[in-house]
Structure 1
Amino acid sequence: MTEETDPNACTEYNALSRRNFLSTGLKAGALLGLSMTDLFEAEEAQAAGLQGATAQSAVVIWLGGGASHLDTFDLKPDAPAEIRGQFNPINTKADGMQISEHLPLLAQQADKFSLIRSMTTGEAAHERGTHYMLTGFQPLPGFGVPSFGSVAAKFLPPKSALPPYIAVPGQIQYGGAGFLGAALDPFAPGGDPSNGGFKVRDLDLPSGMTLERMDRRKTLREAVDSAFSRFEKGSDRAKAVNSFYNRAYGLLSSAEARASFDVSKEPAKVRDAYGRTQLGQSLLLARRLVEGGVRFVTVSSGGWDTHNNAFNNLSRNLLPTFDKGVAAFIDDLQQRGLLKTTMVIVMSEFGRTPIVNRDGGRDHHARCFSVLVAGGGVKGGVVVGSSDTKGFEPAERPVKPEDLAATIYQCLGIDYTQSITSPEGVRITLSRGGRHIGELV
């Protein structure tokens, strides 16, 4: 463990007291529709000096289980049958870039995205690989490192009443705030957006409750809470509860924010373009959330742990759903002028083994795999790095999760060389040893 402990540099997270807020920030907060936590985060972001941002938001599309690079973005048609598998490569709209024949719609969007074909880690277990890819840190026993989304929620100023970090349909393991505290965990709407009755619970006022009554209750609660602030100073639990209350107030009082969750407002042809699947409609919801001002969204899709009967499962289920949804998402962002300010990252915890096993699948493989990136200042049609002839390990330009983390933060305008401090006084650099991928941005 190489983190440095610097007690003198340790500053208290969210140190702004409720009393100070009530005396100096209440009018501004009421005027702008911002919560206390939002105001503090805005001040902190301004103090951090967000410079050079090319993206205002980011969306991580998480393929849980480990998507096979050899059957999606890095095929090996000249390798022996036990390595190349059953799929063939096809040309794309990007010169020299080929991807799987089962991704024809994405092939037509290839000029808008780029591929990293030399991502590499040493973590071939699901939990450890997930932690590494979502935080940029190898797991540290007993130490909760914040995920990209929570760091973004901490440093980026709010754009609307919506929570800054949302996980659709739910939070991914290790996708939370770690030592930054529960107040920066993602909001999870839950449920399947493709279901006809999908509705985010508790977003409507209780029967008989008006906005005026709610505002009176909020004011009363803030006055009571201020009397106890000196006892709660430094309490992560108190800060989290306060943040949750303010988040709830913000959502309940903003019809526009609540409407962002309602995918039923989209025309049928748009919903059909994404696919009436959980992944497709989750991506449509992600687009609506980004449009509504959310800073960071994760969209999770499971089932990619293809140890058995992989080619049938991929060709009939996983890849067509993925192809339709992600291609529509990228195209829709482009058509609405959102792609240039929205960074999209498609990734898994690792890839799959080059050798097809006896059960017709591929096993865990972390030494080399692929990541798709698009938008938010990322160039299109670029391939970074390459794997060897078997797809076993990088042949050139190895890229580590620390480098991916640095690239995400760089695009969002967050200084990835800065440190953050845990409540115990442990300082970590946002991207320890990482460098942003210059070929992409």
Structure 2
Amino acid sequence: MRSPERSETDFRPGSSSPLEFKESPMLDRRDVLRVGALSVFGGAGALASRLTQASAADNEQHEPRRRGAAKSCIFMLLQGGPSHIDLWDPKPDAPAEVRGEFKPIDTAVGGMRLGEPMQACAKVAGDLVLVRSMTHGFNNHIAGTYITLTGSTDQPNQDREADAKDFPGPGAVLNYLEPPQAGLPTSISLPTWLSIPGPSNRMPGQYGGFLGGLYDPLLISGEPQKPDFRPPAMSLPESMSPERVGSRYELLKNLDALRRDMDAAPVRSRGLFSRTAYELLTDPRVREALDLTRESDKTRDRYGRTKMGQSLLLARRLVEIGVRFVGYNEFNQAWDHHSNIANTLKHRVPPMEQAFAALVEDLRDRGLLDTTLVVNTGEFGRTPVINKDRGRDHWPDAYTTVLAGGGTRGGTIFGASDAKGAYVKDSPVSPADFLATVWHLLGIDPHTEMHDRQNRPVRLSPGKVVEGILA
């Protein structure tokens, strides 16, 4: 199924502030009451409410059992669907219309070959796990993204907007399971929400879904590659000293006192929200982590002075201070190459693989790779046969997801596609299996039960942990 061509312009619905609090499709009337008082903080303080959990009472119901050793996860979603054959799973013996223009290259791991554009990744292959047997049945961008982020097959294979009935994304799940500690957010997304203007301005799978919009990750948006990138959490405006923020915090406490007869649970939530907003705005760790001028030019150049490069550098700085989950969202079908794929990949791949390889190397050099899980995936792969426009179309039947660190077995190829990269030949892995493995590596039992806003139990993942990729 081929989607209409769409612009790859950087689209960010709503405010262009680097810290954004957006109307959520998952916010019901009670949720709005919970966050309404926070507007006295302005944009950054209101957004910080997204970092917090519904109430102490809720937290008692969903304590997960610890499993793996990964403390953090950096989750790269290359929205649009990168070509597995051209990047991660080359087929040099296939016919020309399948193997394409690129030749395979050797890597630091014997027997692990990558596509010709993947020069930097070849050098860090010893840290990578290639799951070459990913598969699902959804060839639509929105549906493919949703199953990739949630593992849920309960959806139509068509364009749609995010909905309050959706399964929550991984960042929202962690916001629900693990309240932020000492002012640090649990989950952050950057540098934009996933969207396809028109068909899905707010793509499902990245928000709080049936948990409620209060569990949406914090969004840090903007252009981190630009010299003037300064998120408001990095420094308070001149008119908003820490003392003044403190006085507004006191005002919030008074507002809460006036509403205590409305609903006890939301009041507890507002108290936690406002406390976290206050801590976020005044905590020097967050402001310093977002200040890329503190990095050397050498390090910034190592990642690449691109939006992806500097976003992944931000991600490393955030997990370094203890943020549990950072989602990097490639925006607006950046990898959707229905035509002229070879020439497009020659420009698209180098900044991605430079940044990804630099992230893996940097985490290793800092002693953080063993405790930081890095994921690099699309929502599906692309057709084995090149089409008449010299491109490849959507293909979910077989594709590759890449992991590094966090308790995975580096230098591993798991599973296999067939000789043309069309179908899984060995050890199929569904998105639900993949996410169950991510939860396991993060120390969370995939069988953990969550509760929706009607307090109905829902299992975190129906998938099975992929034991073959664990260290």
Equivalent runs, 1:29-68 vs 2, <5 Å: 37=52, 44=59, 48-68=63-83
Question: Which one-letter code corresponds to 1:168 in the other structure?
Answer: L
2:153 corresponds to 1:122: no
Q: Which of the numbers 290, 297, 305 marks the counterpart of 1:276? A: 305
Q: 1:45 to 1:271 in 2, by over 3 A?
A: farther
Greater shift, 195-204 or 94-103, is seen at 195-204
2:185 aligns with one of 159, 163, 166:
163
Identity %: 38
Secondary structure in 2 matching 1:372: strand
Opposite residue 171 of structure 1, the aligned amino acid is W
Alignment correspondent of 1:11: none
Describe the SS at the equivalent of 1:343. strand
Equivalent-residue separation in structure 1 for 2:358 and 2:308 (angstroms): 11
Q: Distance in 2 between matches of 1:47 and 1:181?
A: 15
1:205, CA displacement in angstroms?
A: 2.8
The equivalences for 1:24-423 within 5 A come to 37=52, 44=59, 48-140=63-155, 143-172=165-194, 173=203, 174-201=205-232, 203-233=234-264, 245-302=274-331, 303-315=334-346, 317-423=347-453
SS of match in other structure, 2:262: helix
**CA deviations over 1:158-198 (Å, ceiling 9, x no partner):** 35523211111022332111121222111111111101111
Contact 2:54/2:269, CA 8 A, preserved across alignment: no
| TM-score when normalising by structure 1 | 0.86
**1:233: how far off?**
4.0
Q: Distance in 1 between matches of 2:79 and 2:148?
A: 11
Deviations 1:65-123 (A, max 9, x none): 00000001101000000000001111111221111121111111011110100000000
2:14 corresponds to: none
**Secondary structure of the corresponding residue to residue 468 of structure 2:** coil
Amino acid in structure 1 at the alignment position of 2:353: D
Q: Is the 8 A contact 1:126 1:349 kept in 2?
A: yes
- C-alpha distance in 2 between matches for 1:135 and 1:242: 30
CA change 1:331–1:197 in 2 (3 A) is same
Displacement after TM superposition at 1:427 (Å): 3.1
2-structure distance, mates of 1:158, 1:53: 20
- For residues 294 and 240 of structure 1, the distance between their equivalents in structure 2, rounded to whole angstroms, comes to 21
Cα distance change, pair 232–164 in 1 and its aligned pair in 2 (3 A): same
Q: Which amino acid aligns with 2:294?
A: K
* Alignment deviations for residues 352-371 of structure 1 (CA, whole Å, 9 cap, x no partner): 00000011100000000000
* Contact kept? 2:88, 2:114, Cα under 8 Å: yes
Q: Which residue of 1 aligns with 2:10?
A: none
Change (3 A) 1:160 1:74: farther
Range 379-388 or range 253-262, more displaced: 253-262
Take 1:36 and 1:293, find their aligned partners in 2: how far apart are those partners? 14
Find the aligned partners of 1:338 and 1:211 in 2 and give their Cα distance.
Answer: 32
The one-letter amino acid of 1:352's match is R
Distance 1:239 1:280, change over 3 A: farther
| Equivalent position amino acid for 1:170 in 2 | T
Structure 1: runs of 5+ lacking an equivalent: 1-13, 19-33
Contact 1:76 1:83 in 2 (8 A): yes
CA contact (8 A) 1:146 1:179 kept: yes
Name whichever of 140-149 and 404-413 sits farther off: 140-149
Alpha carbons of structure 1 residues 105 and 239: separation in structure 2 relative to 1, 3 Å: farther
Alpha-carbon distance between aligned partners in 2 of 1:336 and 1:242, rounded to the nearest angstrom: 37
Distance 2:355 2:364 in 1: 14
Distance 1:307 1:202, change over 3 A: same
Count of residue correspondences: 407
CA distance in 1, matches of 2:465, 2:80: 26
SS in 1 for 2:339: coil
Structure 2 unpaired stretches of 5+: 1-29, 35-48, 157-162, 195-202
SS in 1 for 2:76: strand
Q: Cα deviations across residues 328-355 of structure 1 (Å, max 9, x unaligned)?
A: 0000000011111110111111100000
Aligned-pair RMSD on alpha carbons?
2.6
SS of 2:385's partner is coil
Deviation at 1:241, TM superposition (A): 6.2
Letter in 1 for 2:185: P
Note closer, same or farther for the CA distance 1:101–1:41 as it changes in structure 2 (3 Å cut): farther
Instruction: For residue 231 of structure 1, give the secondary structure of its aligned residue in structure 2.
Output: coil
Tell me the CA shift for residue 42 of structure 1.
11
Q: Distance in 2 between matches of 1:342 and 1:414?
A: 14
Measured after TM superposition, the shift of residue 271 of structure 1 is 0.5
